[in-house]
Amino acid sequence: MLQNEIPSKDWLVFDDTPSIRQSSSDVSFPLSPENELVMQKLIDFVRYSQDPQKNDKQTIRPAVGLASPQIGHNIKMYYIRIEDTDDETGTKKITEHAMINPKISGKSSQLACIEEGEGCLSVDGDKEGFVPRSFRIIIEGYDYLKQQKVTITVRSYEAIVFQHEQEHLEGKLYYDLINKKNPWLKNSDWIIL
């Protein structure tokens, strides 16, 4: 974690700020000190938000992902951290990806959405409704944690999280995908998660 800097809501850019709707630029390698700092802030924020001891007063909403435009940097970076429990063994599994210059190179035609809808740290007061997304995607990019280029196939909830963060890099927000006339209208072949 960054020395003496505790993640806070003050780090966040909200959807009433024009920069959140701008497309992000590619990141050059080797990373500049500023870009290293941006990635570290993304990682610190999400990890801190999920830590019940550190974030004991819920000063920030728990997050599974954060993209650089959400902290005021329109560059192609985001961090995802998903905690899951194995149904059979009961052991906790943590999946982390710190992506630089990611792109979705493949999508399934099968759509899925989260039953209760999506939320976003950059949106005060959630916008309700189904957010249809591809059930399976292939994503390519550089993983900062692995220090290498990766090609990942993700499904279900994890695929939704990746698409949510990827769209931040394109200046889009989850509620852009909600049916304006009937937010909870669902197609019969969608997978509801």
Catalytic member of 128, 165, 167, 170:
165
State yes or no: 164 annotated in a binding site: yes
Compute the distance between CA of residue 131 and CA of residue 71 in angstroms, rounded to an integer: 23
State yes or no: 168 annotated in a binding site: yes
The pair of structure tokens assigned to 151 is: 């090609």
Contacts of 191 (CB under 8 A, 6+ apart): 110, 111, 112, 113, 135, 156
Q: Hey, how many other C-beta atoms are within 10 angstroms of the C-beta on 183?
A: 14
Compute the distance between CA of residue 52 and CA of residue 170 in angstroms, rounded to an integer: 32
Known catalytic residue at 34: no
State yes or no: 73 annotated in a binding site: no
The pair of structure tokens assigned to 20 is: 């959140």
Q: Which amino acid is at 4?
A: N
Could you list the active site residues?
165
Binding site listing: 120, 164, 168
For the annotated binding site for Fe cation, the residues are 120, 164, 168
